[in-house]
Amino acid sequence: MRARSDFRFTAMATLGLLVACSDSTGLDVQDRVLGILQIEATGMAGIVTSGDPDRNIRWNLPPGERITYPPTVIEAPDTVTVGQPFQVTVYSIGPSGCWTADGLEVATSGRLVGLTPWDRHSGAEICTTILALLAHPTSLTLDQTGEWTLRVTGRRVRDGQTDDTVTAERMVFVRAAS
């Protein structure tokens, strides 16, 4: 009888933990929303990104202490060939297991490529409390040689509220075809 009692306690405790889980975004919607690039964990200890940030990235709101952000926000080669397609992946943060990537908008103006990641909440009331990197892959082809800027626009979330639009940029050099 002891094993059954232990199992019942474990099952009830696990269910209690799952029910207590909530997103740190304050959003429980099924609509697509601008991807999260930074979460300021003012009320939560222990979810701070460790290690050095990607030194190729320039932020308009640099992450500081207690800010969680993807270790690689923009994955792209440093150098590409004019007219040749190359892969770029933008990473946003899924603040729970209920979030998935839902597309990437791409807009080019001059030598600036704007990348806007979109995410979607499943609408579930019970979600795992795991932070996930949501990948937004695309293929780009740049038509002029020289330096180009890849700029991701997303949001910074603080205590369940969206506080600021945040951008992350990195440079890509486009060389002439041989």
Higher pLDDT, 44 or 22: 44
How many structural domains compose the chain? 1
Residues 49, 135, 90, 21: is their CA dihedral positive or negative?
Answer: negative
Mean pLDDT of 81-97: 95
Domain extent, residue 35, equals 23-175
Structural domain contains residue 7:
no
* Token code pair at residue 100: 């998935």
Average pLDDT, the chain: 80
pLDDT of residue 28: 42
**pLDDT band, very low/low/confident/very high, at 9 (cuts 50, 70, 90):** very low
Mean pLDDT of 88-94: 96
118-174 tens-digit pLDDT = 999 999 989 988 888 999 999 999 999 999 999 999 999 987 777 789 999 999 999
Structural domain contains residue 150:
yes
* Token code pair at residue 107: 């807009």
Q: Is the pLDDT of residue 3 over 80?
A: no
Mean pLDDT of 66-91: 94
pLDDT of residue 43: 52
Rounded to whole angstroms, the Cα distance separating 76 from 72 reads: 10
Strands (E), 61-160: 67-68, 74-75, 79-81, 86-94, 99-109, 112-121, 132-140, 146-158
Structural domain contains residue 52:
yes
34-51 tens-digit pLDDT = 999 998 875 544 344 544
